């Protein structure tokens, strides 16, 4: 399994800052933020599955454009996997003919460009022997994390989450864990805001990782533009023993 980081920023502001999107091999996207804009038309046409962590704009911004750009280049619908509540939000607020056309009816309801597949925490989807399992997360809207399992190794992506004991318990059960990608959206000076918005800051992440029993390489994502240096410095102070690394666009993981 190969994962390419298309975007991993908590915002925009320069050619190197794109919001969350990861390309798995050539046909699966994990989230569909502005990083998807880095793909060529041919690459967009190869994407057959999108797994969404939740419905917030920075994680779904390019989904409508992906369908409009490459929907007619595929002979099968693009399948979007997400929690039922996330799918309902997309139907109601995005694919509603007011904000964007409903691609579940284009070019026809019988042969659409888009289909939704509901999942919940604990569910596993198998695509060509690759196992993608939804894990618990705790955010202001319904959300999940994901375990990507090639059979020989796993990468876990937290999505957007605040403190979530269920997530860490699930991580501790993964015997072949190699990479752990965890959000840290705020610095410690904004701990209260992190708690209110159900994100993490370095001190909150340290509290959560105290119970981690599985070894893994730790990668930090969703850093706010302009605060990356501050937050990474605080992470070094709080959890330096885990050797946290800042996730960056164009990184490639093979596991």
Domain housing 153? 2-254
Report pLDDT for 14.
86
Report pLDDT for 32.
98
CATH of the domain at 74: 3.60.15.10
Section 91-106 average pLDDT: 98
Q: Which of 48, 8, 57 is nearest to 179 (CA)?
A: 8
| Strand bridging mode 28-30 / 21-24 | antiparallel
The model's pLDDT over 14-55, given as tens digits with 9 standing for 90+, comes to: 888 999 999 999 999 999 999 999 999 999 999 999 999 999
CA distances to 14, 28, 149, 236, 239 from 184, in Å: 20, 24, 23, 13, 12
Report pLDDT for 231.
98
Query: Which has the minimum average pLDDT: 12-16, 18-22, 201-205, 231-235?
Result: 12-16
The model's pLDDT over 157-185, given as tens digits with 9 standing for 90+, comes to: 999 999 999 999 999 999 999 999 999 99
| Strand bridging mode 144-149 / 124-127 | unpaired
Section 83-91 average pLDDT: 98
Number of domains present in the structure of the chain: 1
Which string of DSSP letters, residue by residue, matches 118-169? E--TT-EEEETTEEEEEEE---SSS-EEEEEE-SS-EEEE--S-S--HHHHH
At 125, list the tokens: 């989807």
Section 137-148 average pLDDT: 98
Q: Which helix (H) or strand (E) holds 59?
A: helix 57-60
């Amino acid at each position: 399994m190969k994962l390419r980081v298309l975007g991993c920023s908590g915002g925009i502001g320069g050619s190197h800052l794109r919001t969350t999107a990861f390309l798995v091999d050539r046909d699966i996207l994990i989230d569909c933020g502005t990083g998807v804009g880095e793909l060529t038309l041919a690459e967009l046409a190869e994407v057959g599955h999108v797994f969404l962590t939740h419905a917030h704009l920075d994680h779904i911004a390019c989904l409508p454009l992906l369908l409009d750009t490459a929907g007619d280049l595929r002979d099968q619908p693009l399948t979007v996997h997400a929690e039922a509540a996330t799918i309902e939000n997309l139907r109601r607020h995005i694919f509603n003919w007011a904000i964007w056309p409903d691609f579940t009816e284009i070019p026809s309801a019988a042969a659409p460009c888009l289909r939704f597949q509901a999942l919940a925490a604990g569910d596993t989807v198998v695509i060509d022997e690759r196992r993608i399992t939804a894990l618990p997360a705790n955010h202001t809207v319904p959300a999940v994390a994901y375990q990507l399992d090639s059979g020989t190794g796993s990468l876990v992506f937290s999505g957007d989450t605040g403190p979530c004991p269920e997530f860490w318990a699930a991580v501790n059960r993964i015997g072949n864990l190699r990479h752990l990608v965890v959000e840290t959206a705020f610095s410690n000076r904004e701990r209260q805001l992190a708690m209110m918005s159900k994100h993490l800051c370095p001190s909150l992440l340290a509290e959560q990782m105290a119970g981690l029993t599985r070894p893994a390489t730790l990668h930090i994502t969703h850093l706010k533009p302009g605060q990356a240096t501050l937050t990474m410095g605080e992470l070094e102070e709080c959890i330096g023993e885990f050797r946290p690394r800042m996730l960056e666009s164009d990184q490639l993981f093979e596991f």
